[in-house]
Amino acid sequence: MAQATAERSFGLLSYRTANIGDEIQSVAARQFLPRVDHYLDRDALPEGLAKVPEGVDAILNGWWMWGGAWPPPPNLTPLLVSMYFEVSDATVRERVGSPESREFFATFGPVGARDHSTREYLQSIGVDSYFSGCMTLTLQRDAKVPRHDFVLAVDLSPDQVAELRRRTARPVMELSVAHDPDMTVERRFALAELFLYFYQSASSVVASRLHSVLPSLAVGTPALLVTNGGTYQHHRFRGLEELVHSAAAADFGDALAWFSPDDPVANPEKHLSLRKDLIERCLTFTGQDAVHAPSVSDRLPGLSDPTVLLDLLSDQLSKAHDGHVYRVGQEAHPWTVLGRTARRVVPDRILHAAAAALRRTGWS
């Protein structure tokens, strides 16, 4: 019999990367946690778990061996789902195939692989593995978030954005998943919630990032994945790109004709069986049903300082890490751009609180 929830300690993965898609995967996992007792840095698990001698339970989804030790220390009890290993890397293969790693997989498996390449490699070394898809497929739509009349473009090239604007009468809002890797854990998760608000608010999403398109698929926003060279790796996308509408960069114009941002085609439903299985496995592991998790619209107003939200919006619209640029159609002062975009997607109650806080601090 599983240990009573009140007697267990629950951990949630945190990150130090410049990709907000990592936090979005953890937001998906967090739906199934009764509470978060510990944040566990994915790339420094031994250090984090050394502070939890009594042990901790955690969902280990996402990209592993990006950094840090493998396998995890013995005081971690994991659910192994939606896992990705860069098996084209010889060092990764050596560590994943080590006796210690095989024993870890045998103890806590079977292993849910996020993609077919990871599944095939694990099976080739005798590890019981199956294709689980990505944890973001379990995200729940928030009924309180209204649709707005804009298309969200995520990490598209300038030429692609220009073509998208020529093909739709709707405003096009650009974002990138890149952000400052030195942000605090709290700010990173707040930003992830904000991105999820955008994905639910948009009339459609056109993106080169899996962790923009898959959450959009999960919450019912029509989405198109563009397999651009800079963000696309066939082995990493195998099994996932088949779940969504997708197009190669060379076919972008033709794709916009059939996807039609003004009247987008409905998403495929191939992900539904994967979603159902993931939800059941997570519920069995933690005892928490995702439908009881706080909604995105409830979480955002809960920020202790409303200036944080406006600051996050400004950061995401006026600058980006690693050379990405945010555009909203024309050059403008960052706060003008921020206000115009924010009014489209963020509830008035949040904007009013943030604006009032800014006036108190003397910002304009």
Domain ranges of the chain: 5-137+274-292
Which parts of 289-333 fold into alpha helices (H)? 296-299, 306-318
* Count of other CB atoms within 10 angstroms of residue 152: 24
pLDDT for 190-221, tens place per residue? 888 888 988 988 999 999 999 999 999 999 99
Residue 327 binned pLDDT confidence (cut-offs 50, 70, 90): very low
Start-to-end C-alpha separation, the chain = 58
pLDDT score of 13:
96
CA dist 303 and 280 (Å) reads: 31
State yes or no: pLDDT of 101 exceeds 50.
yes
The token pair that represents 222 in the structure block = 């029509």
pLDDT for 123-135, tens place per residue? 999 999 999 999 9
CA dist 207 and 226 (Å) reads: 6
pLDDT for 232-291, tens place per residue? 677 777 889 999 999 999 999 999 999 999 999 999 999 999 999 999 999 999 998 877
Identify whether the C-beta of residue 20 lies closer than 8 Å to the C-beta of residue 195. yes
pLDDT score of 316:
53
pLDDT score of 315:
54
Higher pLDDT, 344 or 249: 249
The token pair that represents 95 in the structure block = 């560590």
Lowest mean per-residue pLDDT among 1-15, 54-68, 291-305: 291-305
CA dist 153 and 172 (Å) reads: 7
* Count of other CB atoms within 10 angstroms of residue 139: 26
Buried b vs exposed e over 33-51: b needs ≥16 C-beta within 10 Å?
beebeeebbbbebeebbee
Q: What pTM was computed for the model?
A: 0.84
Averaged pLDDT score across all residues of the chain: 82
